[in-house]
Structure 1
Amino acid sequence: MSIGDDKQAIRDKVWGLLEREQAVPSGSHGKIPSFEGAERTAALLGDLDIWQQARTVKANPDHAQLPVRVRALKDGKLVYMAVPRMATLKPFYKLSPEELKVPPEEAADKRGAQSAAPRVAVSEMSPIDIVICGSVAVNRSGTRIGKGAGYSDLEVALLIEAGLITDSTIIVAPVHHLQVIEDQIPETDHDFSVDLIVTPDEVIPCSPRRRPTGLVRSDLTPDIVEAIPALGIRAEDLSS
């Protein structure tokens, strides 16, 4: 089996387990799953010193992390949330609590953000203190996998290359405890590990940290480059 096949087998196993245990809504297979206890997870994360000291949060737009995004806005933090598929030169929504004209619950929803928040280019962003990444599964060494689209990896790599994710940035995976697995998860050059796992009942520090130094250009196909103009790479440059 290939690494991709191995990862997909883990996703299928975890999606199946979550649905059998009714820890997620039916139809969660294939998604970053919303999970029972997501609000408690956001509250537990919000009690941590690293959260209270953070000023800027970058979060994925999936519904599973909506409570974390709402908590960040209520706590006065600047939130960046990816535009779906990053399909624009300005690939992030900027959710600034003092500038929002709608409640945090509306602004933090990916549909609400479309009308409530401006889009910004990477060059217009501030350094990131905390990254919230959606995950399907994660193990205690911090290796995680998403739903397989690869956007989280690209977002993190792009922000590392821009100097906005640094050694002081903490990457967090808020998940259900059933998503924390004992299995080894295969990794490639573009994968990043998380520094903390937060479940509704537990905070799990992870090590050692593993991150790319930026975009792994050998992984970028012409189709990806054409679809995500914010990468700043021309398709014809991939072979040079």
Structure 2
Amino acid sequence: MTSIDQAKQAVRDQVWRLLEREGAVPRGSYGKIPGFDGAEATAERLAGLDLWKRAGTVKANPDWAQLPVRIQALKDGKLLYMAVPKMATLQPFFLLDPASLDVPPEQAAEKKGAAQVARRVGVEDMRPIDLVICGSVAVNRSGARIGKGAGYSDLEVALLIEAGLVTDQTAIVAPVHQLQVVDENIPETEHDFSVDLIVTPDEVIECPNRRRPQGLVWEDLSPEKIGAIPVLAALADAGKDAQE
């Protein structure tokens, strides 16, 4: 573990313990993207913003914490891309189109519901993304964020940037509990992205220091990680073939 990894883990540990100590999350939330008290109010606050109202396409992670935002997106008629957990298929996103759903948004937006009713798509079949909703363990007011450490959010965003689907016009939003907004410096590496907006049950924070990778940072990916994610393995093989 590098010094940056250790620093990030220290912030995660601090926030997880604080959330549990204050009763802001269910028991057993340590080690996860925490579902938090006020998640529904956070989704309502986000839905009142102009950037939400303008957005036609939303990409969200599949964690329980962001379920109210995914439900809101479908209720508001937005095309929703939801990451397949652990990017475990060659088509690593679920496509949820509210115009063609035959189950309630509350069911479709859940992980199990999406797996049953959504079509899996790859980047070649996706539309440009207006809004990215990213699960986070901690964020600071400059926009730096930390997930739970698995790296899937970074990979999803990098993949979409590389495909030209996340651009400078795309806003990245972190819906979190107020206790997840920290004052500490959060170290960032080449593959990390920052958020443009933090939304809590209590406030909306505009973040000034936008940071995004140019795409996938292959040097930061181990052979094991590439091999475990089918879309990365396919891209790596295609790259090798192009060099031969």
User: Shared fold by TM > 0.5?
Assistant: yes
Structure-1 separation of matches of 2:127 and 2:194: 22
Deviation at 1:234, TM superposition (A): 2.9
Q: Give the equivalent residue in structure 2 for 1:51.
A: 52
Structure-1 separation of matches of 2:37 and 2:89: 33
Q: Give the equivalent residue in structure 1 for 2:184.
A: 183
Is the 1:82–1:92 Cα contact (8 Å) retained in structure 2? yes
Deviation at 1:101, TM superposition (A): 1.1
Confirm or deny that 1:233 pairs with 2:233.
no
Residues 93-112 of structure 1 aligned to structure 2 (within 5 Å):
93-112=94-113
Q: Which amino acid aligns with 2:80?
A: V
Deviation at 1:180, TM superposition (A): 0.1
Q: Give the equivalent residue in structure 2 for 1:169.
A: 170
Q: Give the equivalent residue in structure 1 for 2:215.
A: 214
Q: Which amino acid aligns with 1:66?
A: L
Residues 22-101 of structure 1 aligned to structure 2 (within 5 Å):
22-101=23-102
TM-score (ref. length: structure 2): 0.95
Deviation at 1:151, TM superposition (A): 0.2
Structure-2 separation of matches of 1:230 and 1:72: 26
Deviation at 1:235, TM superposition (A): 10
Deviation at 1:201, TM superposition (A): 1.2
SS of alignment partner, residue 58 of structure 1? strand
Structure-2 separation of matches of 1:16 and 1:195: 26
Is the 1:132–1:173 Cα contact (8 Å) retained in structure 2? yes
Structure 1 unaligned spans of 5+ = none
Q: Which amino acid aligns with 1:233?
A: A
- Taking only the aligned residue pairs, the percentage that are identical comes to 69
Is the 1:226–1:235 Cα contact (8 Å) retained in structure 2? no
Count of matched residue positions in the alignment of Structure 1 and Structure 2:
238
Q: Give the equivalent residue in structure 1 for 2:11.
A: 10
RMSD across aligned positions (CA): 1.2
Deviation at 1:58, TM superposition (A): 0.2
Q: Give the equivalent residue in structure 2 for 1:19.
A: 20
Structure-2 separation of matches of 1:70 and 1:166: 24
Structure-2 separation of matches of 1:141 and 1:164: 24
Structure 2 unaligned spans of 5+ = none
Structure-1 separation of matches of 2:12 and 2:188: 14
Render the CA deviation track for 1:106-139: whole Å, top value 9, x for unaligned.
0000111000111001100000000000000000
SS of alignment partner, residue 9 of structure 1? helix
Deviation at 1:189, TM superposition (A): 0.2
SS of alignment partner, residue 43 of structure 2? helix
Misfit runs of 4+, over 6 Å: none
Q: Which amino acid aligns with 2:124?
A: S
Structure-2 separation of matches of 1:81 and 1:176: 21
Is the 1:225–1:234 Cα contact (8 Å) retained in structure 2? no
Structure-2 separation of matches of 1:8 and 1:76: 38
Deviation at 1:233, TM superposition (A): 1.1
Residues 145-156 of structure 1 aligned to structure 2 (within 5 Å):
145-156=146-157
